[in-house]
């Protein structure tokens, strides 16, 4: 930076947005590139990176996301991205499976962040932020459906199963409103490295109590991911939220020298040292993102941003 001339620094003037009723979303995003608008520039850059990643024919594309999104309308965007085969593999958390099953068979409802949780408990209603989850639509329902699915796998002779085999079986039992259904239909593996941390994983454990020869083999998941990573000419990832799903995506891509494309959405702060707060750029120092990668971190709430990002990708 010290050796650069002043003219090299001042090469891109800030421009005002000029939007009318005929302006489409990609024109707005293009305008954001020179708006000087803090996170808006990262959003515009993120969409451009995703477009380039989608257009790269030899790129193995990862999608990772956190479970809470599946309790919102963003579930429909994830579903449609998989329906349209935008990604080759999904890494997520157990709650995403829970919510996909629950919302396929029943409904969640709009609530408020400031509701009385003692009253909700008394009425058998769970609260997830400002989303209301009736108890009848969650635990008992998932138990019933999962026990039937696992019993079916057992009858088929399955014994040592990977999480991607369980998610594929779940998807085969659901319909078109489900993201797991489209992953199953389009042969997109869904890997859940922390599957025991949720209702579906608990049901696998309960099934094991009566069928001791039925076991989880999470190393089969790792074998699948290794084959995808080592065969990839290039790799890219759209990581929505942090935690284990983000880290597992980065972790496996270090074995091929890092991601070539990386877009990350988070609300977590960088200064607490957490994985969720870490910018994508930090992963370069670990070899999880290449030094020449197109990468950005977008700070914002994912259920707000995803509809605009997806709409822009459809307009490409």
- Cβ-contact 63, 238 below 8 angstroms: yes
- Residue 308 burial (CB < 10 Å; 0-12/13-18/19+)? middle
Which residue carries 């989303």 as its tokens? 131
Rg (CA), the chain: 21
Q: Which residue in the list 61, 145, 246, 288 is annotated as catalytic?
A: 288
A 10 A CB-CB count for 188 gives 25
From CA 170, how far away is CA 162, in angstroms rounded? 13
SS3 239: strand
All residues at 6 or more sequence positions from 269 whose CB lies less than 8 Å from its CB, including other chains: 277
Strands 89-92 and 59-65: parallel
Query: How would you label 118-132 residue by residue, b for 16+ Cβ within 10 Å and e otherwise?
Result: eebeeeebbbbeebb
Q: Check if 288 is active-site.
A: yes
> What one-character DSSP code corresponds to residue 277?
T
Return the active site residues. 288
């Amino acid at each position: 930076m010290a050796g650069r001339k002043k003219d090299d620094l001042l090469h891109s003037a800030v421009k005002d947005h000029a939007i009318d009723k005929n302006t489409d979303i990609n024109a707005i995003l293009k305008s954001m590139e020179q708006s000087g608008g803090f996170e808006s520039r990262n959003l515009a850059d993120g969409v451009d990176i995703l477009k380039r990643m989608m257009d790269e024919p030899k790129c193995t594309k990862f999608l990772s996301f956190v479970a809470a999104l599946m309790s919102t309308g963003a579930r429909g965007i994830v579903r449609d991205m998989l329906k349209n085969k935008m990604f080759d593999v999904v890494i997520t958390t157990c709650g995403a499976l829970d919510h996909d099953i629950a919302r396929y068979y029943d409904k969640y409802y709009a609530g408020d962040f400031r509701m009385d949780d003692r009253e909700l408990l008394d009425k058998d209603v769970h609260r997830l932020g400002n989303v209301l989850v009736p108890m009848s639509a969650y635990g008992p329902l998932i138990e019933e459906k999962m026990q039937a699915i696992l019993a079916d796998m057992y009858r088929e002779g399955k014994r040592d199963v990977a999480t991607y085999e369980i998610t594929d079986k779940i998807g085969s039992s659901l319909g078109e409103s489900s993201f797991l259904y489209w992953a199953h239909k389009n042969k997109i593996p869904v890997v859940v490295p922390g599957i025991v941390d949720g209702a579906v994983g608990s049901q696998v454990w309960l099934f094991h109590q009566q069928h001791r020869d039925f076991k989880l083999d999470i190393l089969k998941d790792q074998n699948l991911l290794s084959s995808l990573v080592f065969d990839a000419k290039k790799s890219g990832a759209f990581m929505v939220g942090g935690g284990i799903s983000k880290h597992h995506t980065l972790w496996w891509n270090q074995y091929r020298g890092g991601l070539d494309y990386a877009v990350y959405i988070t609300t977590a702060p960088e200064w607490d040292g957490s994985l969720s707060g870490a910018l994508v750029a930090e992963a370069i120092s670990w070899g999880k993102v290449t030094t020449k990668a197109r990468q950005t971190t977008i700070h914002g709430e994912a259920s707000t941003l995803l509809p605009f990002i997806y709409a822009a990708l459809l307009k490409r």
